[in-house]
Structure 1
């Protein structure tokens, strides 16, 4: 497994728009949404260097209330579904700086968040190449929307080479940004 670790100072900046990965890599964006009923919505999307969606996923889970843990679970879910789909060279991107910083540093704490980090790092060993990237919320809109619409479904949803209608405008907006 090849792990690319950017400098933590580079992570703090976070892109303001979604940026396509280099040719030959895939980018996984993940996000979580906290709902009033205590549930957590999780969303993830995998896109290639042209910005084409290869996979999208969402699911609702019983939640706790800690945003960082929910964000970690979203990243873990998105990685697992991507791995199950056969994607092996990826960049995991999230708008949660704490999550990305912990993954880059390999920092594992003896608490619930640390256990999620440990589980993600263990899962990462199944990839041929993986790196981690921080993005501002504006650059994570597709995963954000998937997390929010998860409450409309019973059980996990996975779309291959398509997205639900509710997120199509956000995907297209990212594609337009790539052309600028």
Structure 2
């Protein structure tokens, strides 16, 4: 309970001092995620799943949002990354997809995250929101945890160094159901033998997912709590 109150208080501070917006829906999602990841003991089994609705959220006015994702066909196997950049009206700015060879999914996701601030710097963005569905990586970027798997420690350090170049950078976690556009891009990159970049219109295969995001369509997401074994 204390953790949920703390997350709510942090959201209030963001609204007052940073003038960022937090919808009730997103706050509930993050409280649920916080409870699952930090409030359950190691002797806990996950039970009683239930379904919540998730959607892509527009960034605050003046911010550019970059969603990223990584994909791998195995552990390890062929892997790819993808990302999309949108403005505060949800308008398409650019997107990318590329293969990263043979590696693990979490390494691909870290590589995708590192692309975001580099792309933002090259395009001249100043206020960015970087969103990923990998909670471990997001927490490392937010410095709420410092225990980084050794294979991605240098990638996280690179991303933090690049992020310090911007006046405002926020790292956000979303559920996979709120990240369907870049999931599709990462899968495309996994099966591709080249790097792809689109800066006029998104590729045709993204259309159903991109339109759904703009329309604010909710996607069902299964969430579970736990029961102690002792």
TM-score between both structures, scaled by the size of structure 2:
0.67
Distance (Å, rounded) in 1 between the aligned partners of 2:108 and 2:150: 14
| Residue of structure 1 aligned with 2:173, choices 134, 145, 156 | 134
**Per-residue deviation, residues 111-144 of structure 1 (Å, max 9, x unmatched):** 1222211111011122221001000111101111
> Where do 1:1-180 residues align within 5 Å?
11=30, 13=32, 16-35=54-73, 38-65=77-104, 67-105=105-143, 107=146, 109=148, 111-151=150-190, 153-177=192-216
Q: Which runs of 5+ in 2 are unaligned?
A: 1-17, 23-27, 34-52, 218-230
- Cα RMSD after superposing both structures: 2.4
Q: 1:174 to 1:21 in 2, by over 3 A?
A: same
Q: Which runs of 5+ in 1 are unaligned?
A: none
Paired residue total: 171
TM-score between both structures, scaled by the size of structure 1:
0.84
Larger RCO (CA within 8 A; separation ≥ 6): 1
Distance (Å, rounded) in 2 between the aligned partners of 1:98 and 1:110: 10
Give the deviation of 1:85 after TM superposition.
Answer: 1.8
Give the deviation of 1:35 after TM superposition.
Answer: 2.5
Q: 1:110 to 1:30 in 2, by over 3 A?
A: closer
Give the deviation of 1:39 after TM superposition.
Answer: 1.9
**Per-residue deviation, residues 39-97 of structure 1 (Å, max 9, x unmatched):** 211000011111111110111011322x2222111111233223212222100000000
Say if 1:35 and 1:41, in contact at 8 Å, map to a contact too.
Answer: no
| Equivalent position of 2:222 in the other structure | none
Say if 2:81 and 2:190, in contact at 8 Å, map to a contact too.
Answer: no
